Chains A and B, each alone.
Chain A
Amino acid sequence: MELLLPLLAALLIAAGVFLVLSRALIRLILGVSFISYGVNIAILLAGEGERRDAPPLLQLAGPYNDPLPQALILTAIVISFATTALLLVLALRAYQVTGTDHVQELADRPDPVRPPVVYADPEVPSVSPEIGTDADVDEEERP
């Protein structure tokens, strides 16, 4: 056990980093989840050892595993669950908008060209579009 858990944490984080570096969004998200699993195990390791005598509320004899890192992991799990859900929705939305889940294709896709707008807002008088839109800036700036 002494060596097994650190190795497992290292393996999970390594797999996560490998996946994060790949070019498909879904693999990237899986990588992020792997990293958070590895992190949780690593925090669990911080609570190992014999230095805690008893949980603060109970009057029982020790030795105990430290409960605090487990509370930390619980918080970290909730947060990583939420961010993974967000990332999945984001990847789905990106796929719906662009039809691809490839990072490079997503980056190469030009921003949508917006037509010059005549404000329908009563507060704002209509504008003549002769100044141009974002589109002419984008042409100068595409990498």
Chain B
Amino acid sequence: MNVLALPVLLPLLGGSVLLLVRRSAARRAVATAVSTATLLASLVIALRTFQGTVLSVQMAAWAAPFGITLVADGLAGLLLLASNVLALLTVVFAGSSLQHAPVRGGSALLNRARDAFGAQALLQFLFMGVNMSFLTGDLFNLFVAFEVMLVASYGLLLLGGELPQLREGFKYVVINVVASAVFVITAGMTYGLVGSLNLADIAQRVAAHGPDPRLTVLAALLALVFATKAAVFPLGFWLPNSYPVPPAAISAFFAAVLTKVGVYALVRTFTLMFPGEQLLPAVLLALGGVSMVVGALGAIARRRWRHAMAFANVASIGYLVAGVFIGTHAGMTAALYYLVNSVAVIFVLFLVAGLAERVGGAGYRKHGHLGLYPWLGAGYFAAALALTGLPPTSGFIGKFGLVRALLAAGGGLRVAVATAAVVTGLLLLYAATRIWREFFWGEADAVHRVEIPRVMSGVTVVATVLLLSLAAFAGPLYGLCGTVASQLDGNAAYRAAVLVPDAPPREGAH
């Protein structure tokens, strides 16, 4: 059995088993065990890819352009590891949070109903879709992986059936169904035009064919789809209202990982399949710059915890997309480091927001919580510093790398985006400080302390420690990102690993 298939198969198996388990405690145990096993498999894959090898497996031994390929290079390994660490934390946190009320004034019964109607199983299917998106080497399978991920996320978003869920959920489903329609039509057109759906094979054929406006149209359609999933500025209007709807842990995973899947697909599209495009990366770079500013302004405008954090997520996606499309090795390195940082920061911020909502309700304009919940304040402080990009944190290292790469690459657009990045840092600082002042600072409004369950605070502490360790071990991590970035430059190893020339021919094929 090849280890590459495990991150897809284990959650599938686990999710199916979870549908049959009737006791809540047993479900939590099974889900935790499955996610731990998936994390171990991802760790094995990631450690191997970090040494520079590209792993690949042809399902059922069908040779590359015809069969289904699973492939893991450094980028896939990095994201797989990051998302599965968060998956395990999400499962543990959700197991506890589904036993309690979602926000102050909310009903614990609603969350228990969610638990009983398969929230844990849907989470596993969500992880399956995410892992499959990172591992697949085939455009159509990427579509299928996106659908698995999205259908699970529809379920998680809608479980409970309250009015905000129905309203935001309907928009979310329709946007994603239309985006998926564009995706599948693009996959069909790619097959009609290029004659292959295997990513590495498409790369070979496109490179051999040379520039062609029709290929640019394909790249533009794919960029449209993936930018919608990643919530880049004009296409990301669905995100800020829909991500705060599900329970805390689930929305934390949504915000931290699902948007990054879109960014991952964008990276694959423009480094592997269509590396020759000139205009589209520039457009996406500019849109990344706009996303930063819009996200930061939105985070200032919103008065509710997770709504503000969702906008902060848009800003962080903006940095990420801008970094990916700088087009230099230094830019990609910084973007990859920022990617890991952003996954951790957004996750911690959403967990903190979830706990704050538990103790104070959805809005953050209630003063004086620092005295009652000093450790919650500490967690928020660390994550907010990393979000804004102030020095001792990993956010600073990532943003500094991004701005330096932008200025080094030169050009009016890049300098403008660098300016936007710095201004956004200040705007985010204002947003973060305001939440600090309004929620943690000041004369205490609250009299009674609401107990935060041990498991939930424990997971938040672990996530915060992971975030801080990104800064502590920044040197090796940044070096690793450099290795991954040079692997993405040209993707020779990726193509060599997938398109094995001397694969044994299959019986009956000719």
Contacts and interface: CB of A to CB of B under 8 A. Distances in A.
Interface of A: 20, 25, 28, 32, 35-36, 39, 42-43, 45-48, 51, 56-57, 59, 68-69, 72, 75-76, 79-80, 82-83, 86-87, 90-91, 93-94, 97-98, 106-107, 109, 111-112, 114-117, 119-121, 123-134, 136-137, 140-141
A94 B144 contact: no
Contact of A90 (B100, B158, B192, B509): B158
A124 B100 contact: yes
Q: Which 9 A-B pairs give the minimum distances between C-beta atoms? A: A46-B192, A43-B188, A137-B363, A133-B105, A46-B188, A134-B362, A94-B166, A114-B105, A39-B185
A51 B191 CA distance: 12
A133 B140 CA distance: 46
12 contacts: A32-B178, A56-B510, A57-B509, A72-B188, A93-B166, A112-B163, A114-B105, A130-B447, A131-B366, A131-B445, A134-B362, A141-B304
A56 B66 contact: yes
B169 interface: yes
A56 B509 CA distance: 6
Contact of B170 (A46, A94, A128): A94
Given A32-B178, A93-B166, A132-B366, A121 B185 contact: no
B174 A42 contact: no
B185 A28 contact: no
Interface in B139-184: 140, 144, 147, 151, 154, 158, 161-164, 166-167, 169-170, 173-174, 177-178, 180-181, 184
Interface of B: 66, 99-101, 103-108, 140, 144, 147, 151, 154, 158, 161-164, 166-167, 169-170, 173-174, 177-178, 180-181, 184-185, 187-189, 191-192, 195, 197, 302-304, 360-363, 365-366, 445-451, 453, 508-510
Given A90-B170, A98-B163, A137-B362, A36 B181 contact: yes
B55 to A, nearest CB: 26
Given A109-B163, A123-B453, A57 B105 contact: no
A73 B174 CA distance: 20
Nearest to A82: B151
Nearest to A140: B303
A90 B169 contact: yes
Given A35-B181, A112-B162, A137-B303, A106 B167 contact: yes
A82 B106 CA distance: 31
A126 B451 CA distance: 10
A28 B453 contact: no
Contacts of A87: 170, 173-174, 177
A130 B447 CA distance: 9
A20 B508 CA distance: 47
A83 B99 CA distance: 29
Given A123-B451, A128-B448, A97 B163 contact: yes
A134 B361 contact: yes
Contact of B100 (A57, A72, A107, A121): A121
